[in-house]
Amino acid sequence: MKKKIGVYICHCGGNISDYVDVEKVRQAVENEGGVFLSKTTMFACADSNQKDMVSDIKEKQLDGVVVASCSPKLHLLTFRGVAERAGLNKYNYVHANIREQVSWAHSDNKTGATEKAIHIVKAAIAKVRNAESLEPVKVQSTKAVAVVGAGVAGMRAAIELAEAGAEVFLIEREFFVGGRVSQWDDLCITDETGKELITRLYDRVMQHKHVTLFTGAEIVENKGSVGNFEIKVKVTPRHFKLQCSGGELQKAIDVCPVEVPDEFNFNITKRKAIYHNYPSEYPQLPAIDMKTCTRCGKCEAVCNAVDFSQKTEYLNIKVGSILLATGFDPYEPPKGEFGYGEIDNVITLPQFKRVIHYNDKRLIWQGKEVKNIAYIYCVGSRQLNGDNKYCSRYCCTSTIHTAITAKNKYKGIHNFHFNRGIRTYGKAEVRYDESSRLGDVYLQSFEYDPPVVEARDGQTFVKIKDVLTANKELEVAADLVVLVTGMVPRKDNSIAGLLKVPKGRDKFFNEIHMKLRPVETVIDGVTIAGASQGPKNIMESMNSALSAATKSFSLIDSGELALEPTVAVVNKEACEWCGKCDEACPYSAFEKVEKDGKMIAKVIPSVCKGCGMCLPVCPSNALELIGLSDHDVESMIDVLIEKDTV
Amino acid sequence: MARINPEFSDELKKYGAFDLNACYNCGNCTAVCTLSDEENSFPRKMVRYSVLGLDGDLEASLDPWLCYYCGECSTTCPREADPGELMMSLRRWLTARYDWTGLSGLLYKSLPASIFAFLLLVVAVIWFAAKQQFDVASIMHYGHFFEMAAITLVFALILLPNIIHMWWLTIYKPGIKAPLSAYFKSLEDLIVHMFTQKRALGCDDNQFRWFEHFILVLGYLLLLFTTVFLNWFETTNLFVIILGYVESAIIFVVTFDFVRRRIQKDQAISKHSHPSDWFFVIWLFLMGLTAFTVRLFIDVDLLETNLWIYLVHLIILVQWALIIVPFGKWTHFLYRSFAMYFHRVIELKG
């Protein structure tokens, strides 16, 4: 029990004192048990008052402090700081809000406001009376980070972390690095190819001795929490020895009888079970896709490097933080959306980019030369009826860039953009102007009246009621219809379930706060980067990758983490594991452990956020929140329901 | 359902339009145009139709003729797409479209063809003069006869069928059913606009240009009347002689000013000159000037010894009557007024 409590009641200029009689409040609480000193002050947060408080605490040896002023959101940390500067443990400070909760809310009733203020200050005194000094929970952290996904975002983050001094495990599910960017040729504005970007990043990743790259690898298990994640990584073999000559490899590919759609080319071409995506890809070692391989053995006969004896490996790795950069999938239109899957010259934008890649002099699709290209925008984005309400951001720019590329590469191309408003934001605006000047035609409609694609007389037509031509019905005879598909979360996003990373309404990984904490998740130690978080272009992915790397690094840099001590604790005697606390916990902070022959719940302090969701659901009242115990709260309630305070 | 034709803009460019692609549909041209109302957006609708290549909609539209090229849209356009000049090009394109012979289109699109036609007529006139042994009286007699014949034949064979064609494209083909009474009631509009170009007065800051144009038209029509029906070159009536002098002087003074403006390019309207524009103003200027000089030579009795001056006049006249009037810019005199007339008919139909 405290015996020397200091109470400060703030005027807040007139914000409080115009409605609350602060002197009366002071008089009402000065004789409360334990109160040694009570003062009113014009501005409690002013430097001069803070200095006075520090000297009061030091000289008069105060053991508890209450400031009755504004919302704790504004100044709780300020006055905790005052306590710490005076050498008093900051948990001996309690904040009473008599501005937002009293003077502003009850400006019509000064007597009632004063009475309520007295109640609130007395309740704070009751709480501070029981307050205990607490020390932060210290957690050792491993100076290593697992980066999941070796696309541009993952590789950039890995390089940054390694340069800062962390050990980095770069885990890529595919056999080749580069993700989506390796699928693109020239990129917008910079005129570099995606492959060039990947080469530059890959070279730096490989040069760095602190980065270990795993391909064909996935996290399959996760234990532990921030500072000490214990992950199990499954590494699938490529079934190729490191030394592999080009000639033999080509023979091995040629003899392979298995043909499957090539996902690297968005299924517009076929590949063998032995494959590499493009000639200079990384790592420069082919792989055998065991899901489709028939083990016929023909490749082994012609290529010595083929090695079917390689086994799947499992590695246990300890890291302090996990950075997710798992990327996106392009939206796959269902059969029949704008004729997709039904009319054979309707393809998606990613497919079109690969078509351009494979056609040099003339643009040919299904054996016919293409002249008129119709682009239908916002397919799978900004949906009126579907779930994808968001704008995919990259597509307007990418489409226009691709349209210009096609026009410059082939003769006689006419581009028709069936859009819902063009958003080539930022520097890409120049591309919109360029395409316009090149004679691209823009036609616009609203989401409730989209264009219609139909095949008749051996031709494909795109029809629209064009807003820009006074809603006139127009049609284009298109040789190729390109559906501008947006970004959607990865089809296989099981990593999110494994790490319990929450997803937003758009089903992408969700950050804590869109503006203030954009790369952290509610799972401490797990950060997110790139398009796994939502549609982003390459530049935006780089930005988020670098900030996620910084955030992850800040968690592991000192080797030790100081966490808030205000967490839940389990009364081992009272607890009979029922699992209700575990169900209620939004952070998965509970473990089921055996203690003295029975199963009980255990709180992992580095995961618990002290939110208190578990307390009311415990049937045996075996849970307590440090700093806000039942006793603390009950003593406050006792004071609050007292009558005749004045 | 209108089919978009991406090749059309290339065709239109041959008539003088140049940067259709610059338009980004902001609508500033429509905001500034005095002809625009809630129903019809000038000149953006025409710009858009041209970009999209909706030639069917374009040839059914009277809009290009309703615009008198004040140039506000071109000076306001933030992309310098020059919508005013596009309207001008559309008028040329429509002229070619109405012309059943196809010669209009050929002459508009090809400068060499135009020059060849002009030279051909020079040779023809000189050949004819040689056949008459360069006898002044005989040549002047046939010259006068030619004027009358040309007026009749050009009108009957070229201009009238073309106006009917225009009516067919703009009223009949789009399925507009107007009662006969509407055609009668609208006749007043036809006459007023044909002789006064009243609509041009509606354009802002345009009063002086309208006045110049107005007296030019008046002078031209009266000179036509004076030379053809009052036989100005052979008359002895002092009033008619002076009238002819005044009329021809008006023509060459006003057209001189027009040529000056096209050279100085001080207004949006005079910034871009298609060969057909130069031919029109220069030939009109030469017509006035040579007519004036021929009469002057007659009055001071020099013509007998200076036959060449009449030959020059005759060449100009023949070129004017056989090229510029039936196939060139002269036709705007008819098409503009008939456009106003048809427009009124459509309005009256309700």
Query: Residue A280: pLDDT band by 50, 70, 90 thresholds?
Result: confident
Choices 3.50.50.60, 3.40.50.880, 3.40.30.10, 3.30.70.580: CATH for A144-236+312-327+490-556: 3.50.50.60
Pairing of strands A144-148, A93-97: unpaired
Is the domain of B156 the same as that of B91? no
**Which secondary structure element, helix H or strand E, spans residue A110, and what is its range?**
helix A110-130
Q: What is the pTM of this model?
A: 0.85
Is the domain of B250 the same as that of B306? yes
Is residue B242 in some structural domain?
Answer: yes
- Chain A positions touching B8 (Cβ under 8 A) are none
Backbone φ and ψ of B11, nearest 5°: -65, -45
Question: In this predicted structure, what is the pLDDT of residue A644?
Answer: 65
Q: Which fold has domain A332-486?
A: FAD/NAD(P)-binding domain (3.50.50)
> Is B52's CB within 8 Å of A416's CB?
no
The complex's ipTM works out to 0.87
Chain A CB within 8 Å of residue B45 CB: yes
Is the domain of B262 the same as that of B324? yes
Chain A CB within 8 Å of residue B20 CB: yes
Chain A CB within 8 Å of residue B48 CB: yes
Range of the domain at B78: 8-98
Surface of A (349-378) touching B: CB under 8 A: 372
Is the domain of B185 the same as that of B160? yes
> Which CATH code fits A5-134?
3.40.50
Is the domain of B133 the same as that of B265? yes
- For chain A, percent helix, then strand, then coil, each to nearest 5? 30, 25, 40
Is the domain of B180 the same as that of B325? yes
Is the domain of B92 the same as that of B193? no
List Cα–Cα distances, A463 to A466, A477, A612, B45, B52, in angstroms.
9, 9, 58, 19, 13
Is the domain of B84 the same as that of B228? no
Chain A CB within 8 Å of residue B49 CB: yes
Q: Is A183 in contact with A194 (CB distance < 8 Å)?
A: yes
Is residue B178 in some structural domain?
Answer: yes
Domain boundary assignment for chain A = 5-134, 144-236+312-327+490-556, 246-302, 332-486, 564-626
Question: In this predicted structure, what is the pLDDT of residue A646?
Answer: 52
Whether A5-134 and A144-236+312-327+490-556 share one fold: the answer is no
Is residue B1 in some structural domain?
Answer: no
d(C-alpha A181, C-alpha A185), whole Å:
8
> Is B52's CB within 8 Å of A441's CB?
yes
Is residue B55 in some structural domain?
Answer: yes
Is the domain of B149 the same as that of B293? yes
Question: In this predicted structure, what is the pLDDT of residue A645?
Answer: 53
> Is B3's CB within 8 Å of A476's CB?
yes
Q: Does residue A311 register a pLDDT over 80?
A: yes
> Is B25's CB within 8 Å of A372's CB?
no
Of the residues B98, B133, B157, the one at which a domain ends: B98
Is the domain of B92 the same as that of B64? yes
> Which CATH code fits A564-626?
3.30.70.20
Is the domain of B242 the same as that of B166? yes
Of the residues B69, B98, B127, the one at which a domain ends: B98
The strand pairing partners of A240, in sequence order, are: A306
**pLDDT tens profile A146-184:** 999 999 999 999 999 999 999 999 999 999 999 999 999
Interface test with A, best of B52, B63, B80 (most A CBs within 10 A): B52
- Chain B positions touching A468 (Cβ under 8 A) are 25, 48
Q: What is the pLDDT along chain B (350 residues), one digit of tens a residue?
A: 899 999 998 999 999 877 888 888 889 999 999 888 888 888 999 999 999 999 999 999 999 999 888 888 999 999 988 999 999 999 999 999 999 999 999 999 999 999 999 999 999 999 999 999 988 889 989 999 999 999 999 999 999 999 999 999 999 999 999 899 999 999 998 998 888 888 887 776 668 888 899 999 999 999 999 998 898 998 889 999 999 999 999 999 999 999 999 999 888 788 889 999 999 999 999 999 999 999 999 999 888 888 889 999 999 999 999 999 999 999 999 999 999 999 999 988 86
Question: In this predicted structure, what is the pLDDT of residue B303?
Answer: 83
Structure token pair of residue A525: 């130690």
**pLDDT tens profile A420-454:** 999 999 999 999 999 999 999 999 999 999 999 99
Query: Total structural domains in chain B?
Result: 2
- Chain B positions touching A430 (Cβ under 8 A) are none
Is the domain of B90 the same as that of B125? no
> Is B2's CB within 8 Å of A472's CB?
yes
Chain B CB within 8 Å of residue A621 CB: no
